[in-house]
């Protein structure tokens, strides 16, 4: 699966999936300004002097940049989907969702989702590479197969939207989940390619119930929720683990209601509480950012610490495009004196 960077110039027209099953045309794939990069579920990492952006797309879409401002499209991770993916997931046609990229023990570790829209017939796969620089002779993505799977009627959770996190002892975990009973956490083996034998998913957040305030100064009311929570990302800072998630609805273009929320815990397994002390297992979650008049829905964020600066990376649906295309957002993440994240 060795891939080389294409030398085709900005006349190239590449077809991507903008969100879910909605295709979008992306033109001028060289030096695209950040605000014009069509990207769904983005994550960023840096190798040497180059930033790499991984997003939802056929075979997992990849972009590179020298400044995080202008981006050039690379070849995807997979030119054809692994055979296990099409064999296990009915209706899967090679469009991979919500990648997660990290560097550990001399390898770049990429998790990705294999599914179809609205189904929990899903798998999370893992691939690795010793470099992200496609010009190097040792550049090669090696697929390691299925990490975790969910099947309709057997699990009440959905094996998509992966995120790798290590606890204070060095134990690796995979956070994941979308709709159904919510977000989960499972321990991984040392190779990071399988969940530990016999491990059961740990529930960390759910929207089966939703907290609504009954009025100023009054106690919140718990009511039935809409299950709409996904995209977990756990970030360790100081004595806390911070769980970021996206709630309400993505993938509807200008009608999207996506927003980002968070909570924190001293234990990676939870409970994760928001700034008001409400559990994210019962609909809690402090708002990090929501859409505005132009961006109808912001969400699916990752956190990247690059050269000592912490960035929130996410997408927003652009109301200035006909279909509300998802565009790349990168913002510096700040922290309050009492340890809560805020976006400027």
Active site residues: 41, 230
Residue 293 to residues 59, 257, 328, 336, Cα–Cα distance (Å)? 33, 12, 17, 27
| Burial class, 228, CB count within 10 angstroms (exposed 0-12 / middle 13-18 / buried 19+) | middle
- Give the other-Cβ count within 10 Å of 88's Cβ: 18
Q: Strand 309-318 to strand 122-129: parallel, antiparallel, or no bridges (unpaired)?
A: unpaired
Is residue 161 within 8 A of residue 174, CB to CB? The reply is no
CA distance 279 to 167: 20
CA 63 to chain centre: 16
Residues pairing with 100 in the sheet? 111
């Amino acid at each position: 699966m060795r891939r080389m960077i294409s030398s085709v110039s900005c006349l190239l027209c590449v077809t991507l999936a903008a969100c879910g099953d909605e295709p979008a045309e992306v033109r001028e794939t060289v030096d695209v300004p950040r605000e014009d990069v069509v990207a769904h579920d983005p994550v960023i990492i840096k190798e040497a002097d180059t930033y790499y952006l991984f997003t939802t797309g056929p075979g997992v879409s990849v972009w590179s940049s020298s400044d995080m401002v202008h981006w050039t499209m690379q070849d995807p991770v997979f030119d054809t989907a692994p055979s296990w993916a099409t064999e296990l997931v009915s209706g899967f046609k090679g469009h991979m969702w919500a990648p997660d990229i990290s560097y550990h023990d001399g390898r770049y570790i990429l998790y990705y989702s294999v599914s179809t829209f609205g189904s929990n017939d899903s798998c999370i796969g893992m691939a690795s590479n010793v470099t992200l620089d496609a010009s190097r002779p040792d550049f090669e993505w090696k697929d390691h197969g299925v990490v975790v799977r969910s099947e309709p009627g057997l699990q009440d959770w959905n094996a998509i939207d992966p995120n790798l996190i290590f606890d204070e002892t060095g134990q690796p975990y995979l956070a994941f989940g979308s709709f159904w009973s919510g977000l989960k956490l499972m321990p991984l083996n040392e190779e990071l390619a399988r969940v530990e034998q016999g491990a059961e998913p740990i529930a960390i957040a759910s929207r089966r119930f939703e907290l609504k305030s009954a009025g100023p100064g009054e106690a919140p009311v718990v009511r039935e929720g809409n299950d709409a929570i996904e995209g977990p990302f756990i970030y360790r800072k100081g004595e806390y683990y911070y769980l970021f998630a996206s709630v309400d609805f993505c993938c509807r273009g200008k009608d999207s209601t996506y927003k980002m929320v968070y909570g924190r815990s001293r234990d990676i397994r939870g409970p994760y509480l928001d700034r008001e002390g409400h559990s994210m297992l019962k609909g809690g979650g402090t708002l990090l950012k929501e859409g505005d008049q132009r961006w109808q829905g912001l969400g699916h964020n990752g956190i990247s610490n690059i050269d000592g600066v912490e960035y929130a990376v996410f997408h927003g649906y652009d109301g200035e495009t006909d279909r509300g295309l998802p565009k790349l957002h990168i913002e510096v993440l700040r922290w309050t004196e009492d340890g809560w994240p805020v976006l400027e």
